[in-house]
């Protein structure tokens, strides 16, 4: 009986330690400046996602585009988020039009930095096109200091630690 109590006490301690570690992750804040290319037309929907080392979506960090009726047109991200119809884990803000610039704040779990993760900036503009990897930034100490050029509606992205 005494051995069982000791075993249960030890098990409870391990469970508490695991819960403490899981809840004790630290995130780092980055100002994220997005500069759009000059184009005419509607504002761009921009999805900023955390991509795991295997290339799969892990988390939505930010959405620029509040009207969720258009989210299904952001094909690759929709396969991740829309199929499960869970609540959006990123903050939403307005779309960005051609030539505009916007600064938002991203919270990134520090354990993801230098661990094979990436930030993906996916863009879509009504009747203008869709870019799955408009910008992809490896979550490395060096890449987070550099300006990342876009390949679609984004001219560049710059991240600045806060």
**pLDDT tens by residue, 64-110:** 998 888 888 899 998 888 766 666 656 778 899 999 999 999 999 99
Q: Helix, strand, coil proportions of the chain in percent (round to 5)?
A: 25, 40, 35
Q: 121 and 92 in contact (C-beta within 8 Å)?
A: no
Residue 20 lies in a domain: no
Does residue 10 fall inside a structural domain? Answer: no
Structural domain for 113, as ranges: 25-161
Is residue 109 situated within a structural domain? yes
pLDDT in tens, 19-52: 444 455 799 999 999 999 999 999 999 999 999 9
Considering the entire predicted model, what is its pTM? 0.82
Q: Tell me, yes or no, whether 8 lies in a domain.
A: no
Give yes or no for residue 57 having a pLDDT over 60. yes
- Whether 18 is in a domain gets the answer no
Contact in structure between 46 and 35 (CB atoms under 8 Å): no
Total number of domains constituting the chain: 1
Element (H, E) at 123: strand 118-125
Q: Is the pLDDT of residue 4 over 60?
A: no
């Amino acid at each position: 009986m005494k051995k069982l109590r000791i075993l249960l006490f030890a098990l409870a301690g391990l469970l508490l330690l695991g819960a403490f570690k899981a809840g004790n992750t630290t995130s780092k804040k980055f100002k994220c400046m997005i500069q759009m290319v000059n184009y005419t037309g509607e504002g761009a929907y921009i999805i900023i996602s955390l991509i795991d080392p295997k290339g799969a979506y892990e988390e939505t960090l930010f959405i620029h585009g509040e009207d969720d009726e258009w989210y299904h047109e952001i094909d690759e991200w929709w396969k991740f988020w829309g199929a499960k119809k869970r609540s959006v884990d990123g903050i939403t803000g307005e779309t960005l039009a051609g030539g505009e610039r916007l600064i938002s704040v991203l919270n990134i779990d520090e354990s993801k930095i230098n661990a094979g993760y990436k930030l993906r900036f996916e863009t879509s503009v009504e009747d203008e096109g869709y870019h799955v990897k408009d910008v992809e930034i490896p979550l490395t100490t060096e890449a987070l200091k550099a300006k990342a050029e876009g390949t679609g509606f984004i001219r560049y992205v710059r991240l600045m630690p806060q």
